[in-house]
Amino acid sequence: MSGAATLQAVMSEGLDRYRHAHPLKPRQQQVCRHILDCRTPALGGFALKCDHCQAPAQLYHACRDRHCPRCQRQATEAWCARERAGVLPVNYHHLVFTLPHALNPWVEVHARELYGLLFETVWATLSAFAADPKRLGGQLGMTAVLHTWGQTLTRHVHLHCLVPGGALSGGGQWHPARSTYLFPVRALSRHFRGGFVSGLRRAIGKGQLPRLDNAAEIDAMLDTLMASEWVVYTKPCLSHTETVVDYLGRYTHRIALSDARIRRFDDGEVQLDYKDYRDGGRHKVMTLAATELLRRFLLHVLPHGFMRVRHFGFLANRCRALRLPVIRAAIEVYQATPAAEASPPSQASPFDGYPCAKCRRGHLRVVAELTRHRLEGG
């Protein structure tokens, strides 16, 4: 049996089979329910009618879950616009801090704690380097977005960071980065590794990771982590900071998988597009059973209420409105009406109804509200 090439269709056909072998956690169950209900009678909606040909139509509400590939487009666009408006006239740096895959079993049982520790350690690492008088001697700014997946949807926990190339001193002076790499990658990697492992030891000692209770296995894991090289990637954004903002924005309000990557769904199998970075970034297609695709997708369901986009330093929400003008003035390129902020956000055109797909001349107008209606077995 063939079906539409969407995550919702795959979930509708394969979720029951998946649940027989893999009991869902409450949070996963909630996310699946939202995705299955998205834009269906279960969420209600509106009855529409064309003002030209009188053709009827229905429009159902979206679930607005951040895991749903059909939702959050407007929220993403608003976030990108806000970030682009705050871009400083300096070189930016795109850094990626990756957790070793050996930690994946611990992430499985204590995701919230380890994700939080990742943010904490990365910021501690970068701010320590920036505060060093031999480097920048000031406060850094950072926007960080958590990704937990790779191209094939396996667990690959890493933090994308967008960092302006300079620091603000306590006296209000701007100290620009002296080189294009911001900080030495090897030194960042060692500091990041030591800080994260120390954080794990503290958390275990305080009983904050209660499901890790085998002392011998804990010691062996921590020794393995300290003996391995941790991956840190850094690249200057010399002329395309907005491009990186848009790249991060694609995953600020959604995760892991878009419907556009699902090429075909037929007879319980899914063809998925992916980019093979080990083969020069070539685009390839892999075939997965529907249940396997769901297993991989559900690895990336975030803990309830977890903030996966965070701002630090002079880009922190509580102070960025005050600090950005100060920084622009400090680097002597601040204008009274910067181009990025001179005009207020563009206002959307007044809504004039949806174009009629039947006559293509009229517009669909709301004529009634549809109450929620869950189909039997739904």
pLDDT at 351: 57
Query: Residue 152: what pLDDT?
Result: 93
Instruction: Note whether 143 and 315 are within 8 A (CB).
Output: yes
- Which among 3-12, 194-203, 236-245 has the top mean pLDDT? 194-203
Q: 376: pLDDT confidence band, cut at 50, 70 and 90? A: low
Give the tens place of pLDDT for each residue, 1-29: 455 789 999 999 999 999 998 899 999 99
End-to-end CA distance of the chain: 20
For 338, phi then psi, to 5°, come to -55, 145
Find out whether 254 and 308 touch, Cβ atoms under 8 Å.
no
Name the pLDDT band for 67 (thresholds 50, 70, 90): very high
Q: Which residue has the tokens 């509106």?
A: 46
Answer whether residue 332 shows pLDDT above 70.
no
pLDDT score at 350: 54
pLDDT at position 176 over 70: yes
Q: Mean of the pLDDT values across residues 191-219?
A: 97
pLDDT at residue 342, as a whole number: 38
Which pair of structure tokens corresponds to residue 170?
A: 């306590």
Alpha carbon dihedral 96, 191, 166, 238, in 10-degree steps, equals -30
pLDDT for the residue 366:
81
pLDDT of residue 245: 85
| Mean pLDDT score, 264-283 | 90
pLDDT of residue 335: 33
Share of the chain above pLDDT 90, in %: 60
Task: Evaluate whether 243 touches 147 at the Cβ level (below 8 Å).
Answer: no
Instruction: In whole angstroms, give the CA distance from residue 239 to residue 97.
Output: 22
> 313, 142 in Cβ contact below 8 A?
yes
The predicted structure's pLDDT at residue 89: 87
The residue among 93, 123, 99, 127 whose CA lies nearest residue 111 is: 99
pLDDT of res. 374: 64
Q: Among 343, 96, 112, which Cα is nearest to 211's?
A: 112
State residue 338's pLDDT score: 45
Cα–Cα distance, 101 to 106 (Å, whole number): 10
Where residue 267 falls (left for φ over 0; alpha for ψ -120 to 50; beta otherwise) is: left
198 contact partners, CB below 8 Å, separation of at least 6: none
Domain limits, the chain? 7-66+353-370, 73-256+302-330
